[in-house]
Amino acid sequence: MINHFQLATPLSVREVKLSHLRCHQDLTWACDAGMNLVIGANGCGKLRCWDLYI
């Protein structure tokens, strides 16, 4: 579950925190412009970052 994020601008996500993962640890990523946010295949929430607009 994504339960925390910080905005770099009104339209882009700067940081994402994931919690309650199957691997039982909270993970936080700071995302720079031009990088992609992709959930990993192992169910543990491993990510690459990209510009994510909300």
pLDDT at residue 14 tops 50: yes
13-21 long-range contacts, CB within 8 A, separation 24+: 13/37, 13/52, 13/53, 13/54, 16/47, 16/49, 16/52, 18/45, 18/47, 21/45
Q: Are 31 and 15 in contact (CB under 8 A)?
A: yes
d(CA 11, CA 40): 24
pLDDT at residue 40 tops 70: no
Q: What's the pLDDT band for 31 if we cut at 50, 70, 90?
A: low
Entry pTM:
0.31
Q: Counting beta carbons within 10 angstroms of the beta carbon of residue 36, is it exposed (0 to 12), middle (13 to 18) or buried (19 or more)?
A: exposed
* Every domain of the chain and the residues it spans: 2-48
Predicted confidence at residue 33, as pLDDT, reads 61
